[in-house]
Amino acid sequence: MTRWSPSLWRETTVFNAQFQFFAIGGAPLDVAAIVCPGLLAWMLRSDRPVFWWVLAATVLYLMALVAWFTLVKPANDVLATWVPGPIPDNFETIRSRWETGHMVVTGFKAVGFIALAIGLLSIRRG
Q: What is the pLDDT along the chain (126 residues), one digit of tens a residue?
A: 568 888 888 888 888 777 777 878 888 999 999 999 999 999 999 999 999 999 999 999 999 999 999 999 999 999 989 988 999 999 999 999 999 999 999 999 999 999 999 999 999 876
Q: Is the CB of residue 11 less than 8 Å from the CB of residue 92?
A: no
DSSP 3-state of 125 = coil
Instruction: Give CA angle at 78 (72, 84), nearest 5°.
Output: 125
| pTM for the full predicted model | 0.89
Write down the domain spans for the chain: 6-121
